[in-house]
């Protein structure tokens, strides 16, 4: 769900999500998609996110 939400954003190339580690590693094009947009995408599927 989180992976799909992140990868659905323009310029996100890939997302690896570990619920065990409470961590997502995202490969994306800087300047095209923002951290805030990624956080909102995660919130949109019912989870919290903060930049690390």
Would you give per-residue pLDDT tens digits along the chain (52 residues)? 999 999 999 999 999 999 999 999 999 999 999 999 999 999 999 999 999 8
pTM as predicted? 0.90
d(CA 31, CA 4): 21
Cβ contacts of 37 within 8 Å, gap of 6 or more: 9
What pLDDT does residue 30 have? Answer: 94
Please, how many CA atoms are within 13 Å of residue 21, restricted to the half-sphere of its CB?
7
What pLDDT does residue 52 have? Answer: 85
Domain 2-44 has CATH 3.50.50.60: no
């Amino acid at each position: 769900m989180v992976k799909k939400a992140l990868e659905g954003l323009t310029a996100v190339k890939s997302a690896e999500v570990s619920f065990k580690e409470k961590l997502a590693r995202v490969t994306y094009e800087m300047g095209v998609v923002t951290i805030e947009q990624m956080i909102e995408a995660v919130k949109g599927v019912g989870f919290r996110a903060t930049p690390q």
